[in-house]
């Protein structure tokens, strides 16, 4: 962050460190388009989009230097199948069938990438029809599988990324994905993992997004409380099935062109269509601006599990532990891991505040280097938000019923360290 941007951001982090975040309704469904790289700062994004939870679209100028934009696309804007096969032909990739509904998503299978490309070429040749259905390569962890490839660089606006910082640290998973699909492939109605933010960059092709601000999904539920699979289905007009549909606002609609990046706010449900043969890069991420939303989501998920197995509460000695296990199987995290998530994020920032980084460390693409780049006040902002959520977690009755002896340091000690680091940094 340059000196002017850092100075400008000082007021933002102070002003917003105690603000709350809730659902945001856009007047008239307007979504801002960010045209120029040189005149749009991290502080602009923090103030105008992260904190108010407001979507926006970045122009293709923000991705024009990416290796994937140069090499994965033909001269006429189509997927460069020859190049992709040369680089990734032997990989095994997850593929969903868009023509089949399985619960509230599409069933997936693992296919060799070269087989998927062969299918895709034949699908195009056959006027976008196939007896196999419309297959969509989704949630491919390409960056983790091919770290040496020059694919893209995460824009600074999305660099405060706690999800990938944590999962990289424990070397288990990540939330960085590549999507590739033919015209007509789509993703059913959903909100992103942990109610995280997401950003999605089109390498080639076009997408149509239907976005519903957080809270609007309540009006789209059927009389049993279930969300629709396809938010455009005519059945939503049936008031006997969807009694509150007429109270919902129309979706915010975005048509995303090649090279553009869409920022999806935390907790916004959406449905996405590929209008052409399309390749995109997508990240889910959480940071100090929306970690409280993640914590609320986890509490809601646990409450839902507890309702489902409430009849077993008395005869089951470890009922609270079983609820945590079921929640983790459904969401990917439980309360104790959420504590460890907060701990890793907090300790990385404390380390930067207390010890700084040398020039060699700053030159490397590490979480601590990213923290340092965003500045001391951003680290303090992160710690203040962590303190709020950690305080709530520590006081939570379901958390206190777990065996917490394995947590190191104990929550009280970590909170004390956090508050001391904040006080010292602000002296």
Average pLDDT over residues 183-210: 98
CA distance 190 to 177: 17
3-state secondary structure of 368: helix
CA distance 90 to 113: 6
Residue located via tokens 């505040």? 353
For residues 189 and 230, the answer to whether their CB atoms sit within 8 Å is yes
Average pLDDT over residues 353-359: 75
Q: What are the φ and ψ backbone dihedral angles of 224, each rounded to 5 degrees?
A: -95, 0
Say how many C-beta atoms besides its own lie within 10 A of residue 262's C-beta. Answer: 23
User: What's the chain's length in residues?
Assistant: 427
For residues 228 and 236, the answer to whether their CB atoms sit within 8 Å is yes
**Number of continuous H segments (helices) and E segments (strands) in the chain:** 15, 13
Going along the chain from its start, the domains and CATH numbers come out as: 27-213+249-285 (2.60.120.650), 290-426 (no CATH)
For residues 272 and 231, the answer to whether their CB atoms sit within 8 Å is no
CA distance 395 to 390: 9
Take residue 89 and report the two structure tokens written for it: 């032909």
DSSP state of 211: E
Q: Burial code of 194-231, b = ≥16 C-beta within 10 A, e = fewer?
A: bbbbbbbbbbbbbbebbbbbbebbeebbbeeeebbbeb
Residue located via tokens 């080639």? 204
Average pLDDT over residues 363-375: 79
Nearest to 103 by CA among 190, 175, 218: 190
For residues 201 and 261, the answer to whether their CB atoms sit within 8 Å is yes
pLDDT exceeds 50 at position 132: yes
What is the predicted pLDDT for the residue at 427? 84
CA distance 366 to 280: 24
pLDDT in tens, 213-245: 999 999 999 999 999 999 999 999 999 999 999
pLDDT exceeds 70 at position 274: yes
- pTM of the predicted model as reported, rounded to 2 decimal places: 0.92
Provide the CB-side half-sphere exposure for 28 (13 A, CA): 3
What is the predicted pLDDT for the residue at 104? 86
H helix runs in 61-212, sequence order: 67-71, 81-88, 113-125, 142-145, 162-170
- The distance of Cα 73 from the centroid of its chain, to the nearest Å, equals 25
pLDDT exceeds 50 at position 193: yes
Q: Which of 133-142, 248-257, 351-360 has the lowest mean pLDDT?
A: 351-360
Average pLDDT over residues 308-323: 90
CA distance 134 to 183: 9
What is the predicted pLDDT for the residue at 2? 37
H helix runs in 286-375, sequence order: 291-308, 319-331, 335-355, 359-363, 367-374
- Average pLDDT value for the chain: 91
Take residue 385 and report the two structure tokens written for it: 């938000």
What is the predicted pLDDT for the residue at 70? 97
Inter-CA distances, 277 with 79, 179, 182, 184, 253, Å: 7, 11, 4, 8, 20
3-state secondary structure 251-289: CEEEEECCCCEEEECCCCEEEEEECCCEEEEEEEECCCC
Q: Which of 2-16, 169-183, 328-342 has the lowest mean pLDDT?
A: 2-16
CA distance 367 to 159: 9
């Amino acid at each position: 962050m340059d000196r002017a941007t850092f100075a400008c951001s000082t007021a933002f982090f102070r002003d917003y460190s105690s603000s709350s975040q809730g659902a945001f309704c856009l007047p008239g469904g307007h979504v801002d388009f960010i045209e120029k790289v040189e005149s749009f700062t991290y502080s602009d994004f923090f103030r105008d989009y992260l904190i108010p939870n407001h979507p926006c679209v970045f122009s293709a100028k923000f991705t024009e230097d990416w290796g994937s934009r140069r090499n994965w696309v033909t001269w006429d804007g189509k997927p460069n199948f020859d190049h992709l096969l040369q680089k990734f032909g032997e990989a095994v990739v997850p593929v969903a069938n868009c023509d089949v509904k399985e619960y509230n998503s599409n069933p997936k299978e693992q296919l060799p990438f070269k087989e998927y490309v062969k299918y895709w070429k034949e699908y195009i040749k056959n006027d976008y029809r196939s007896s196999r259905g419309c297959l969509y390569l989704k949630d491919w962890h390409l960056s983790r599988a091919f770290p040496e490839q020059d694919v893209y660089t995460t824009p600074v606006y999305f660099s405060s990324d706690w999800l990938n910082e944590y999962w990289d640290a424990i070397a288990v998973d990540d939330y960085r994905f590549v999507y590739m699909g033919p015209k007509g492939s789509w993703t059913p109605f959903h909100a992103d993992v942990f109610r995280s933010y997401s950003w999605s960059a089109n390498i080639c092709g076009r997408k149509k997004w239907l976005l519903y601000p957080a809270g609007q999904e309540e009006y789209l539920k059927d009389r049993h409380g279930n969300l629709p699979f396809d938010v455009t289905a005519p059945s939503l007009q049936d008031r006997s099935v969807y009694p509150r549909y007429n109270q919902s606002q129309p979706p915010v609609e975005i048509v995303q062109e090649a090279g553009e990046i869409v920022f999806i706010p935390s907790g916004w449900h959406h449905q996405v269509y590929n209008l052409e043969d399309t390749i995109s890069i997508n990240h889910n991420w959480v940071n100090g601006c929306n970690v409280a939303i993640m914590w609320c989501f986890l509490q809601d998920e646990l409450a839902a599990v507890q309702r489902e197995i409430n009849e077993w509460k008395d005869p089951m000695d470890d009922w609270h532990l079983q609820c945590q296990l079921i929640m983790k199987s459904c969401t990917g995290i439980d309360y104790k891991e959420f504590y460890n998530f907060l701990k890793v994020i907090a300790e990385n920032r404390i380390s930067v505040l207390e010890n700084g980084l040398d020039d060699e460390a700053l030159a490397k693409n590490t979480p601590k280097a990213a923290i340092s780049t965003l500045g001391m006040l951003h680290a303090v902002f992160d710690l203040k938000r962590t303190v709020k959520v950690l305080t709530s977690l520590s006081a939570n009755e379901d958390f206190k019923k777990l065996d917490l002896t394995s947590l190191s340091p104990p929550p009280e000690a970590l909170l004390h360290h956090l508050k001391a680091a904040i006080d010292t940094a602000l002296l």
